[in-house]
Amino acid sequence: MHYSEELNFIFRFPTKVVFGPGTAKEVGMEVEELKKTRALIVTDQGLVQTDLVRMVQKALGKKCAGVFSDVVPDTGLHIVNAGTEYGRKLEADVLVSVGGGSVIDTAKGMAICLAKGGKLEDHAGFNLLSGPITPHVVIPTTAGTGSEVTYAAIIKDHEQKRKLLFADNYLFPNVAILDPYMTIGLPRLMTAATGMDALSHCVEAIHSRQSEPVADALALHGIRMIREYLPRAVENGGDIIARGQMLIAACIAGAAFSNAQVGMVHALAHSIGAKFGVPHGIANSILLPHCILYNLDACLDRYSQIAQAMGKDVRGMEPLKAAEQAASTIWEFTKAIGMPQTLREVNVEEPGLEQCANDALMDGSIVYNPKLVFDPEEILKVYKNAF
Ligand SMILES: [Fe+2]
């Protein structure tokens, strides 16, 4: 991997990671170590009816002050504010989120408001928090978002149909408990889609304008792990080894992109998700190879290394041909795990793409894309290729 002589970076990874089958039962010890006594579990309407949440509740014992289970996919400001109100009533002093990206991000928003007061919309911005927020222990039930170790949260403003980014160094969760038993019930398509989100994080960290060696190392290994274990987890949801390795892959991908950032794949996926409700991992999966082709000549060396991490032997190939293998191997991979291949298949309507292209240009991620994009027509072309 080549780096410019001007390379300089800061790498942050403050979250304590606990890994292993059955470790979710240790949540009480983690809360104790944080010296907290009133935990509010944050989860969604589906998970609250499962044994997973009951088990976490039981493991917390007397330290469980209550359960907030109103989170829905594509969480919104109103949900965060309702959860905060509930947390205030219970005098919660620590949050334990049990769920996927939407749940974890809701808890991050609540952690801000519980500590700083007001509503979440009062705290929008980048690194504006003046000090630590309410502590947060995460138990992910999907392997993809990486939000358990990142400093950002995406919360939808449902009135404006926009996704808002909250990013702050105080948003890193205190603890991430990666327990493969927590992901074994995840259905096939959700397993594949969230895994593709993690793969997108790896690729975007590597091609980012802010890429650096620590994030590259994590992201390249993340790709190797996902290539090996995601098909196994999709094929057999009860494969505990594959589930565990995917949790680790998603976590290290999260650490990589939380530092190196993501680019146009995420910018384009965010606006498609906000307008048409396409789940994040599915939007990323469809757009990823198209965005690689768009950026191709700006990252020949990086894409050829991604192709190798995807298992392709590119030795002796022309640089352009080797880089193209990143897109083609990822396409083959998404087909093998049963992902939708076009935006048309996931109910995106062509006339809305123009607005999505304009919105994607305003997304915070676009500035880290290896090729700078200023013209919405360029984005529209990528959308149309993926349509
Ligand atoms: Fe993502």
Instruction: Write the pLDDT tens digit of every residue in 47-82.
Output: 999 999 999 999 999 999 999 999 998 889 999 999
- From ligand 1's centre to the CA of 158, what distance in Å? 19
pTM value is 0.96
Bridge partner list, 155:
164
Share of the chain above pLDDT 70, in %: 100
- From ligand 1's centre to the CA of 220, what distance in Å? 16
- From ligand 1's centre to the CA of 266, what distance in Å? 6
Residue 296 has pLDDT above 90, yes or no: yes
Report pLDDT for 332. Answer: 98
Q: Which element (helix H / strand E) includes 158? A: none
Report pLDDT for 74. Answer: 83
Residue 46 has pLDDT above 80, yes or no: yes
CA neighbours closer than 13 Å in the CB half-sphere of residue 157:
12
Helix axes 240-260, 188-207, angle to 10 degrees: 30
Residues 6+ apart with CB under 8 A from 109: 75, 77, 80, 83, 84, 120, 153, 155, 166
- From ligand 1's centre to the CA of 101, what distance in Å? 9
Under 8 Å between Cβ of 30 and 137: yes
CB-based neighbours (< 5 A) of ligand 1, an ion: 197
Residue 161 has pLDDT above 80, yes or no: no
- From ligand 1's centre to the CA of 267, what distance in Å? 10
- From ligand 1's centre to the CA of 89, what distance in Å? 33
Higher pLDDT, 319 or 160: 319
Report pLDDT for 156. Answer: 87
Rounded CA separation 179/41 (Å): 17
- From ligand 1's centre to the CA of 91, what distance in Å? 32
Q: How confident is the model at residue 33 (pLDDT cuts 50, 70, 90)?
A: very high
- From ligand 1's centre to the CA of 114, what distance in Å? 26
